[in-house]
Chain A
Amino acid sequence: MTPLLSVRNVSMFFGGLAALHDVSFSVAKGEILGLIGPNGAGKTTLFNVINGFYRPSRGNVFFKDQRISHLRPNKICGLGVARTFQVVKPLQRMTVLDNVIASAFLRSRTKAEAVRTATEVLDFTGLLADKDMLSRGLPLGKRKRLEIARALATAPELILLDESFAGLNPSELNESIQIIKGIKNRGITIMIIEHHMKVIMAISDRIVVLNYGERIAEGAPSEIRADPLVITAYLGVDENA
């Protein structure tokens, strides 16, 4: 079976800096792929390449066998790849509901249909009670969830989650983990960047590890936990985090 997404020999240079260097891996339909690595390892850059914000300096990205690495972000989203932002980007002076309606329009012919999708997604992400709030008034935890809600409203096949758990308190964390599991149950494939080791080990089917822009390991959580390269690069310093 061909993978849903495949990243092939992707490099991304910023001036002299190789934020990504010859990275290859693929994501199978239906799985949760964890992407980990120390700060500055190139994780967000990789999302920006997949999502079309950056055109890779070298290499290609394929989604369902179609090359997407030359397309604009809006096209890539249209094909079924949605993302969230590590530094949240709410549409500040729009209500929570309007934020999600704006993205639900992608697959809706009428406004009524967009409103229906948006309401359903807000209910799923536990934001329905806040729907009439201006999104700039939301606390961080809910803004992170609004990112997820907006991405879901575009009815993606693959969703890229960039540190959706960072800065959450334990109860919010639990809620978000339930949401991720719910997304998987809907048949949506997930790629997730996360620093929280316990969480990522628990929810990922497979994990890819980046370090200084290079893919240093790939495998099941148990394999990653035992990988000496990973331990020195990442887990070693972060064991108790």
Chain B
Amino acid sequence: MGQMKRYLPLAILGLLAILPLVGLSTYALHILIMVIMWSIVGMAWNLLGGYCGQVSFGHAAFFGVGAYTAGIIYAKGGASAWWGMPLSIVFVSVFAMVIGFICLRLRGPFFALATLAIGVILRVTAENLTSLTEGDLGIMIRERTWIEKTWYFYVVLTLAAITFYLVKRVIESRLGYYFVAIREDQDAAESLGINTTLYKTVALCLSAVFTGLAGAFYTNYMGYIDPKVVFALHDISIVTIMVVMIGGVATFWGPVIGSVIMVLLAEVIRSIPRLGAAHHTFFGILLIVIIIFLPNGIMGDMPKLKRMMRIGKPV
């Protein structure tokens, strides 16, 4: 059992890696890419919100900065948008440090509100800083690297595998213990010799960097970004939180499961003609239902779910 659990991530990775070889439709491949991209963002948010307890309502800010790093390097720097991936690590971590300096002195709901504001401020800034971002026109990547989606799939899969591995390593190390200690009781953590300001900043930067990488990938993959899309409160920041909450806060697999559910659900809802426009409403209701019935998400409430399944079955 323990052995099986250890190799489960590798088995899943291997399985995913051979999937394109069996000949998936372009649409199926697109859905898969989206699921994997959202897993990355979810895992990143989980590091800060789930383990360290600093709930962010503004992760679109980091996603957007990553996406625009790739976009601007292409549109203004004349370089390949792929350079956005390594460069976003630098820009996003510097940006996150500034945000951390401003927001991390706030606790609980105040931090959440501050991140919410940061997300909005960034969207408005991107809309108005037209000399750099082209404003509402957005940035279009004209030369696509690949016509086929297969290679994008492998890029995002690699990124997800690295993220999963690093998050697991971090959480099982000193950092992970410090993050959870801070989440559980900041005063206690401080009195145990933990520099809470420093480690909250570390959690924020790590979380932001992975989110930014997903953003930079998004630019390359979609070939078009504008402020309303990549800095979106609903479609990025809130969806990120839902991915983690549905899957299971502070669990390794929660964000993965959550993103499968959220991406598929979004597709289904959008395909229903009348309901499509109201998908925000639907997601909102779903979030409330989850908070009430599965407050720990699918992974966190696994024992409870299993019990519910057993009810009605003959013993």
Contact = CB atoms under 8 A, between A and B. Distances in A.
Contacts of B180: 91, 93-94, 98, 102
A51 interface: yes
A105 B190 contact: no
Contacts of A94: 180-181, 184
A58 B120 CA distance: 44
A149 to B, nearest CB: 11
Interface stretch (B95-103, B147-155, B193-201, B229-237): B193-201
Interface stretch (A72-80, A177-185, A229-237): A72-80
B174 A72 contact: no
A74 B196 contact: yes
Given A78-B193, A150-B192, A154-B192, A102 B178 contact: yes
A53 interface: yes
Interface in A64-101: 72-74, 77-78, 82-83, 85, 89-94, 98, 101
Contacts of B188: 85, 89-91, 150
Given A91-B184, A92-B184, A94-B184, A77 B191 contact: yes
B165 interface: no
B191 A73 contact: yes
A105 B194 CA distance: 9
Interface size class of B (residues with CB under 8 A): 10 to 19
A111 interface: yes
Contacts of A166: none
Given A91-B180, A91-B181, A111-B173, A103 B187 contact: no
B192 A106 contact: yes
A89 B196 contact: no
Nearest to B180: A94
B143 interface: no
Contacts of A103: 192-193
Interface residues of A, number: 26
B190 A98 contact: no
A101 B187 contact: no
Contacts of B185: 89-92
B177 interface: yes
Nearest to B192: A103
A132 to B, nearest CB: 16
Contacts of B177: 98, 101-102, 105, 114
- Counting chain A CB atoms within 10 Å of each CB, which of B178, B187, B189, B191 scores highest? B191
Interface of A: 51, 53, 72-74, 77-78, 82-83, 85, 89-94, 98, 101-103, 105-106, 111, 114, 150, 154
10 contacts: A53-B187, A72-B195, A73-B187, A74-B191, A82-B192, A91-B184, A92-B184, A94-B180, A102-B180, A111-B173
User: Would you list the 4 A-B pairs with minimal beta carbon distance, nearest first?
Assistant: A77-B193, A91-B184, A89-B188, A106-B193
